[in-house]
Amino acid sequence: MVRVRSHKRRIKAQTVTVKQHDRSVAERKSSFERKDYTPVAKAPKKESYSDLMKPTKKPKKEAFIKKGDIFYASWGYDQTNYDYLVVKEVSPSGKTVKCQMTEFKNVGYSGQAYVQKPTSKGFGEVFRMKVESRDGKPQLRGSYPYVQGSRRLGTFYKHDKGKTYHETDSMFGH
């Protein structure tokens, strides 16, 4: 005799013979071995938000970077600020680039913001940035020179030719 207990407390334990127990196990096994049984396909694994936000390791072919490309980073709380850099050299592996901060021209004023357009004229020290790709678009990540010897960590996105950027006037931010 085999005593089978239920996992629910409300149902009383059943007493079955070993022969009955073995028969029920065999019936369950045979139901999976039948020829007319078609297994249900597993649902594809859903990607988590953090998986979606991770940059892909290898840049795609259309995301290549060349010397002279300009990138921008936007940052600030309650005030929009922009930093621009120009690519000076691409490593043979294409995984890193040497960059330099670049100047910009104020081409207008809009409400409470200066309208800026980056130039390809670099200044200051040359520094290295890591090349990443997200959705097939190149981006650069790393620390870069900021104010008088300090460094800032940031992500730079490729500048589209002719695009302008609106930086908050210092009178209206913090």
pLDDT of residue 64: 79
- 156-159: long-range pairs with CB below 8 Å, 24+: 156/71, 156/72, 156/73, 156/83, 156/85, 156/129, 157/71, 157/72, 157/73, 158/65, 158/69, 158/70, 158/71, 159/69, 159/70, 159/71, 159/72, 159/84, 159/118
**What's the DSSP call for residue 8?**
S
- What confidence score (pLDDT) does residue 61 get? 45
pLDDT score of 172: 72
Residue 107, pLDDT score: 86
Of 56, 39, 58, 60, the C-alpha closest to 47 is 56
Single-letter amino acid code for the residue at 94: G
DSSP H or E stretch at residue 30: helix 18-33
- Check if the beta carbon of residue 67 is closer than 8 Å to that of residue 99: no
The pTM of this model reads 0.62
Please, what's the largest Cα pairwise distance for the chain? 91
Q: What is the chain's pLDDT, residue by residue, as a tens digit (174 residues)?
A: 555 555 555 555 556 666 666 666 667 666 555 555 555 666 667 677 677 666 665 544 444 789 999 999 998 888 888 999 999 999 998 899 999 999 888 888 888 888 888 988 989 999 999 999 888 889 999 999 988 888 989 999 999 888 888 888 777 765
CA distances to 4, 32, 36, 43, 93 from 40, in Å = 30, 12, 13, 9, 44
Cα(41)–Cα(3) distance, rounded to whole angstroms? 36
- Tell me the CA distances in angstroms from 127 to 101, 132, 159, one per residue in order: 9, 16, 19
Three-state secondary structure call for residue 51: helix
Provide the residue type at 26 as one letter: A
Residues in the chain: 174
Instruction: Supply the pLDDT for residue 155.
Output: 93
